[in-house]
Chain A
Amino acid sequence: MAGSALLAAGHRVGMAEAEVRTDPEVEHEHGSPWPFVIAVGAAIGYVGLVISLPLLVFGVIVFLAGAVGWLRDDLHSVSRAVYGTATAISAKFRHVSDRKLAVWLFLATEVMFFSALIGTSWTLRFRNSYGLPWGMPGQVLDVPITALNTFILFASSLTMVEALASIERGDQKRMRRFLAATLVLGIAFVVIQAREFYTLYFVEGLTFTSAPDGLNPLYGQTFFIQTGTHGAHVTAGVFALLYTTIKAWKGGFTKENHEAVELVALYWNFVDVVWIFLFTIVYLI
């Protein structure tokens, strides 16, 4: 009796496991500790920011350790079944996955962030403190080189979406090539901008507190804060692209499982959109 009861119970458990395995609606928990480590690191870092530098450094170290651990785990878990089919991608809202919705919400905060930076710079320009003029196009900034950099960013947007289109068709080889091309173009943008910053600061004399040719000293401040913040975002995008490219080379994306490529493309195209306005406002107006 006891044996048959055990067998029956075992059969029920086996059936339940089979249902879990085959039901695409079931959410599989990965159980990774790394997001928790990242959150703890961020909390320590924020407290350290207020009360103690060593605590801040410790928090940053814990944060980075968590991030590296999480990325390493993800890099080794290629094409998991949990993300294997379209129906396994969770979505609380119709037709938009949770992860894509989260990226759009993040981009909304970025829209507000950059708009605040640009709006503040415009206000300072129109307020015209010190009664000194702003730089005109080409007066201090190198417009042709930056136009070339803008073209490079446009080209990187094209290669990024072509990478996405490639994996949507299941063409792994083409996706890898386009991702690598996007990475190279992204690095080129950052290098050219770094060279421009160096020349402006050390050769032209455009600093945080002064500007050449009798220009308004706020010109340098607003220039560096706007373009520097954007450059930091591009640099973050380059790291995201580097990770995505490495994962692509390891076979981490398939025709059915490539949402990460689309999300990185969303972010990358967003920094392109921001640059379109920054180039116009900072360099051409």
Chain B
Amino acid sequence: MTPAKTPTADEAPARSFWYAYVFLIAALALALQLYVAVLSPLAYADRVLVLVGLATVMAALVVAYDMHLKYEPRWILLIPFGSLALVFVLVAALLASSGSAPPP
């Protein structure tokens, strides 16, 4: 049996240092999203790109710092991102195969 890694007294404050920053960045990104979605004169396609980009940044910060993925062994990344990659392939196939269907 291998001992599990638990944060030492030095590691825990180092991790918690980022929590407030992640919250602030996420809150700012949310405000920016609202501006882009409601007030921005951007074209629809550009708007979608910016909104999804901001959401990805917010999610990445939460996963990396609040869920501690940044501090876990690298192979743990395979679990969430492996499943995500599989779903991307399946959803892309679904989108590609869906033409304009006639109303039922």
Which listed residue, A92, A158, A280, touches B19 by the CB 8 Å rule?
Answer: A158
Q: Are B100 and A127 in contact (CB under 8 A)?
A: yes
Nearest chain-B residue to A278 (Cβ)? B55
Q: Are B55 and A280 in contact (CB under 8 A)?
A: yes
Q: How distant is the Cα of A281 from the Cα of B76 in the complex, in angstroms?
A: 27
B1-58, CB < 8 A from A = 1-7, 9, 12-13, 15-16, 19-20, 22-23, 26-27, 30, 33-34, 36-38, 47-48, 51-52, 54-55, 58
Q: Are A126 and B95 in contact (CB under 8 A)?
A: yes
Contact size range, A:
35 or more
Q: How distant is the Cα of A109 from the Cα of B88 in the complex, in angstroms?
A: 14
Q: Are A277 and B23 in contact (CB under 8 A)?
A: no
Q: Are B19 and A119 in contact (CB under 8 A)?
A: no
Given contacts A25-B1, A276-B58, A285-B51, contact A96 B83 (CB under 8 A): no
Q: Are A96 and B4 in contact (CB under 8 A)?
A: yes
Q: How distant is the Cα of A112 from the Cα of B83 in the complex, in angstroms?
A: 6
Q: Are A104 and B103 in contact (CB under 8 A)?
A: no
A108-125, CB < 8 A from B = 108-109, 111-112, 115-116, 119-120, 122-123
A169-214, CB < 8 A from B = 169
Nearest chain-B residue to A95 (Cβ)? B5
Q: List chain A residues, Cβ under 8 A from B72.
A: 95-96
Q: How distant is the Cα of A143 from the Cα of B62 in the complex, in angstroms?
A: 22
Given contacts A165-B15, A276-B55, contact A108 B4 (CB under 8 A): no
Q: Are B62 and A122 in contact (CB under 8 A)?
A: no
Q: How distant is the Cα of A279 from the Cα of B20 in the complex, in angstroms?
A: 22
Q: Are A129 and B66 in contact (CB under 8 A)?
A: no
CB of A148 to closest CB in B, whole Å: 10
Q: List chain B residues, Cβ under 8 A from A120.
A: 94
A7-44, CB < 8 A from B = 25, 27
Contact size range, B:
35 or more
Q: How distant is the Cα of A128 from the Cα of B100 in the complex, in angstroms?
A: 7
CB of A120 to closest CB in B, whole Å: 7
Q: How distant is the Cα of A115 from the Cα of B38 in the complex, in angstroms?
A: 26
Given contacts A129-B104, A158-B20, contact A138 B38 (CB under 8 A): yes
Which listed residue, A94, A137, A164, touches B73 by the CB 8 Å rule?
Answer: A94
CB of A87 to closest CB in B, whole Å: 5
Q: Which 9 residue pairs of A and B lie closest in terms of their CB atoms, listed nearest first?
A: A119-B91, A165-B16, A97-B4, A95-B5, A168-B12, A115-B87, A91-B4, A284-B37, A108-B83
Known: A158-B66, A161-B16, A284-B36. 14 other contacts (CB 8 A): A25-B1, A86-B3, A89-B4, A92-B2, A93-B73, A96-B73, A111-B80, A116-B91, A119-B87, A147-B30, A272-B62, A273-B63, A280-B52, A284-B37
A interface residues (Cβ-Cβ under 8 A, vs B): 25, 27, 86-87, 89-98, 100-101, 104-105, 107-109, 111-112, 115-116, 119-120, 122-123, 126-131, 137-138, 143, 147, 150-151, 154-155, 157-158, 160-162, 164-165, 168-169, 259, 265-266, 269-270, 272-273, 276-277, 279-281, 283-285
Q: List 16 A-B contacts (CB under 8 A).
A: A89-B6, A91-B3, A94-B2, A98-B4, A100-B4, A105-B79, A107-B80, A131-B103, A157-B66, A266-B67, A269-B62, A273-B59, A277-B59, A280-B54, A284-B33, A285-B47
